[in-house]
Amino acid sequence: MADQTFRLPDLGEGLTEAQLVAWRVEEGARVEINAPLCDVETAKAVVVIPSPYAGTIHKLHARPGESVAVGAPLVTIAAQETPTTVEPEDPAPRTLVGYGPGAPEAGVRRRARVAPVATGEPGADVRAAPFVRQLAKEKGVDLARVTGTGPGGRITKADVEAATSAPAATSAPAATPATPATNGERRISVVGIRKAIARQMVRSVSTIPQFTEFAIFDASALMAAREKQKAGGRSLTPLPYFIQAMVKAVRAYPLMNSSWDESRDEIVVKQPINVGIAVNTSQGLLVPVLRGADQLDLHEIADRGAKLIEGARAGTLGPGEMSGGTITVTNVGASGPVETGTPIISPPECCVVAFGAIKPRPMVVDGQVVARPGAWISISVDHRIVDGALATEFLTALVAELEKVSA
């Protein structure tokens, strides 16, 4: 039996670190090969890390809530077997089977991932990550009485700490004006997915010269197609129609499905059309990727898209399902009566398309003003790759595809 130090593996897609959410083991406990060691949150998703060794947990090298760099020590195990998937003698960062570069995308069953909210416990209906729940338990904080300030009302570490200090503040002497208790400030630790979103958006607006164009389309044909599908026993949202029309427009204007190689000052036109679908979740905005959308029919787009959206909201998607997009779509009208907006490009993509709410609008038909269902479309594009004229042609083609939608 020899001590083997397992380092955080390369989870793929350029990820350099992950936040430890919760340990599934404790020091002194027995662990088997492929048994879950811990949950980590990357910029893409919450991932369960399995053990590459069988043996006894000797030392845990990180605490929940801490960021761990790829290649940094994660756990030391007094191992009884030498794994075939990880070489312990190699101190360099490694790729864990099922994740990272070269990971199989098909035919391999992914280990189930755990959503941040536990079940079967007191307060299981609140939104909080496992390490936040553990912190609350240690400090004697009832999460049911805590108001979450994170995305979607999620309870953060800062919320628990604020709740811990609140009773003491009532009996303590009056605080100075500089303290958060008197000026109403509350600091929220930005980690994991929220931190990655912040970095990505800063990168987008600081490195991509982007501009936005707008249009309105007549959704009469789209709504009629939906009614026909419904009559046939299939209820579809507008999103699959949006994606299918966008794919057809991209085929006519392939430069919209490209990226800018900053290291070589080259435009890289992508062959597959992998559509990123912006999804609002309790963890923040996630963008699962519908791969090969140009090879799918309407129902396949609807089925696979729905599974990706459900998985993003449940926190069960792996890093490979949250990366590799070539163009992004966001349905800003799905959450309310939002007309339009100026979406921000997700680097290194060239274009993002936003659809507003479909509702009755005044339109001129045969010289008469009539009320017809319609919606705004806005596209933001990388001006290094696409000029205004080409963006207008693409947007015009997209409108044309939407206005001739059939069931």
Task: Note the residue count of the chain.
Answer: 407
The whole-angstrom separation of Cα 380 and Cα 383 is 9
Q: Assign 296 to helix, strand or coil.
A: coil
Helix (H, G, I), strand (E, B) or coil at 371: strand
Which candidate in 58, 61, 299, 383 is catalytic? 383
Pairwise CA distance, residues 290 & 270, whole Å: 15
Residue in the block written with tokens 């299981």: 124
> Tokens 């997009």 identify what position?
325
Q: Name, in order, each residue with C-beta under 8 angstroms of 44's C-beta and a sequence gap of 6 or more.
A: 11, 13, 15, 193, 196, 286, 317, 318, 319, 322, 323
Q: Phi-psi bin for 13: left (phi > 0), alpha (psi -120 to 50), beta?
A: left
CB within 8 Å of 314: residues ≥ 6 apart: 115
- Number of helices and strands in the chain (H, E): 8, 19
SS3 158: helix
Closest by Cα among 285, 305, 185, 181 to 237: 305
Look at residues 191, 137, 194, 126 and name the one whose alpha carbon lies nearest to residue 164.
137
Evaluate the CA torsion angle 173, 174, 178, 183 in order and state its sign.
Answer: positive
Catalytic: 383?
yes
Please give the C-alpha separations between residue 175 and each of 79, 159, 167, 380, in angstroms, as whole numbers.
53, 19, 14, 48
Question: What does the alpha-carbon distance between residue 390 and residue 385 come to, in Å, rounded to a whole number?
Answer: 10
- As beta bridge partners, residue 375 has 217
Catalytic residues: 383
